[in-house]
Every structure is written in structure tokens, then in C-alpha cells.
Amino acid sequence: TTYSYLTAVDVAGVIDAIMEDKPMGSFFRQIEVEKCAVTGGQLRKIYADYYLIGGQRFEGRYNPMGPDHGPGFVQDYTNAVLINPKAANAHYALGYIHYQYLKVYSQAIVHFNDAINANPNWPEAYFNRGLTYETQGNVAAAQADYEKALKLNPNYKTAEIALARVKAGGKL
């Protein structure tokens, strides 16, 4: 089973404690966060915020021979992300990465939603969520987002072009 703990270690403090034969407990911190219940994930930084991405979750006893050879486990791969919900820039960047490069549109929408929740006056977040919706064929949602982007920034030419395209029945 994979446990939901995130552990921070003050490495320099631990080294000093070992060298001086002192207790090390104060140099370890652990918090429980369900989204952290993955192994093999990577802790990364976007701007000033850290996030956890990737990894897999195990349920049951580990058995490298698989469930056909005794007790096994269930392994779920995840793109779980743990970042500050108010970190609009981090969510926007992850939304853009999921849209533009990974082509995981449902996850892109989640991140653009989080960026909008953190900063509801960000026209680019609405525009890029609109692009994602349009790519998925959800023209009504795309149109609403392009209109919102233009309401927030009436001079947003790219959003104006996108809105005209969806109203005319055009495709990306």
C-alpha cells in the first residue's frame, strides 16, 4: 500500500546531528496529504510553488510476480498534482502543458478551472480553456469562454478571432 505522507528532511541538519551524535527527529517533518499517496512521483517547482506530479499508487501487498503468483497488488498510474490551489500561474502553466504538449484535454480543463478559481479576472485562462473546449468539440463552452475573455479584455484580438470562428462554425 502507498501511504499519503509527504516527508521533508533538513539534510544539512541531519548530517550535523549525526556528526555531533545528537537526536535527528527535529530535522524531519511529515504531513498527511491524500494526493501524495504515490510512489515515483516528482516534486517540481513552478514560480514559487511546488507541485507533485506523476507516480503510481499501490493497494495491497507488493508482489513483483503479479497477482497470478500469490497475493498481489493493484497499481494505478497517476498524473496527480499537488499544488497550492491559489497558485494561478502554476495551474495555468500546467493547463497549457496538458493542452499544448500532452494533449490530455480533460486535465488541461481542470488546471484552467483552478487558475480561473484563483484569479477569475484572467482573460488568457478563459481563452485557453476555451481552446481546450473547442478542441474537444464543446463549441458552446468554448464560445462562452471566448466571450468572457473579451469581456475582461475587449482588445484581446486572438479571442475575438476565435469567437468569430466558432460562431461561423469553423474548426481549429
Q: Are 13 and 4 in contact (CB under 8 A)?
A: no
Over the stretch 117-165, which tens digit does the pLDDT of each residue have?
999 999 999 999 999 999 999 999 999 999 999 999 999 999 999 999 9
CB-facing half-sphere around the CA of 123: CA atoms within 13 A? 15
pTM of the model as a whole: 0.58
32, amino acid identity: E
Q: What is the dihedral of CA 77, 136, 172, 127, to 10 degrees?
A: -90
Residue with cell 499519503: 4
